[in-house]
Amino acid sequence: MQAVMAAAQQQQEEAANAKRQAAERFEVGDKVWLSMANYKSPRPCKKLDWLHHKYTVTKIINSHVVELDVRGSIYRRFHVDLLRRAHQDPAPGQKVDDAQPPPIQDEDGEDLWDVDEILCARWKKRGRGQFRQALVRWTGYANPTWEPVEWLQGTIAMKAFEDKYGPIQANDGPRESFEKSTSAQESRRPRLNRRGEGGNVTGCARLGGPGCTGSGGSCLGGRTGPAPRARSCENIL
């Protein structure tokens, strides 16, 4: 009887293995898309969640589990079934990344957007005075937007800009070249409330997300509702 049961079990294992596909093998440094199917998403279609977040493989745990450079308190190890290999950066002249990913939500349910880089700065007239703006390149968005400098204080992007060009209040960076070569949009988003102002030691900042127009928060990709916010930090996914 035991021999019969063992033979049946072996047949079941062989049948199951025949249906399984070999797990894709990743290496440290590979760029991958992480499926966000298990995370809250504003998109109505789960299939689009494959394109939401791109990360780098930092460690190989075993043939089926790798570690990614996710940030914050999120567990960093993921099964390879949740990953898809991402194409490398396009060659010069190819289309700029414009995947327009939705925001990531923090523990309070606030929408957070990735600030990839501050390109330059300028003075902008407002009433009888003027205020300082920064040209922001957003992660996953082709077109940069102008944002109030105070919304970016304490961020990693701000530190990188000032390390290169000096204090942003007194240095524009390569403003003229960017103003001529980009189709930057004016930010028309509402001001931050007290809860969202400023940043912390890791460089978090919340502000209007990329591509929003009007105080009602009508945003890129046809998404409507309250205007989202943004971030440039390393301690949040």
Q: Give the distance, in angstroms, between the CA of residue 210 and the centroid of all CA atoms in the same chain.
A: 11
Residue 237 lies inside a defined structural domain of this protein: no
Residue 68, phi then psi, degrees to nearest 5: -115, 165
Q: Which residue, among 206, 204, 210, has the nearest Cα to 196 in the 3D structure? A: 206
Task: Give the pLDDT of residue 229.
Answer: 44
Domain co-membership, 56 together with 115 = no
Residue-level pLDDT at 44: 41
Assess contact for 88 and 100: CB atoms under 8 A: no
Query: Is 227 part of a structural domain of the chain?
Result: no
d(CA 45, CA 92): 32
The per-residue pLDDT for range 153-197, each reduced to its tens digit, is 878 899 999 999 999 999 999 987 776 655 555 554 333 332 333
**What separation in angstroms does the CA of 133 have from each of 35, 123, 140, 149?**
35, 6, 21, 5
Tell whether 49 is covered by a domain.
yes
pLDDT averaged per 10 residues in sequence order, the chain, 237 residues: 67 61 82 69 42 78 90 80 72 57 66 82 92 89 86 86 95 80 50 33 42 32 35 38
Q: Identify the burial level of 126 via C-beta atoms within 10 angstroms of its C-beta, where 0-12 means exposed, 13-18 middle and 19 or more buried.
A: exposed
Quote the longest CA-to-CA distance of the chain.
Answer: 93
Query: What SS3 state is found at 222?
Result: helix
Tokens of 116: 């990839």
Beta bridge partner(s), residue 133: 122, 148
Q: What is the CATH number of the domain that holds 117?
A: 2.40.50.40
The set of residues, in sequence order, having a beta carbon less than 8 Å from that of 101 and lying 6+ positions away, is: 51, 52, 53, 114, 139, 140
Q: Which domain holds residue 109?
A: 104-179
**CATH at residue 50:** 2.30.30.140
CA separation for the pair 50, 212 (Å, rounded): 23
How many domains does the chain contain in total?
2
Tally helices (H) and strands (E) across the chain: 3, 11
- Predicted TM-score (pTM) of the model is 0.44
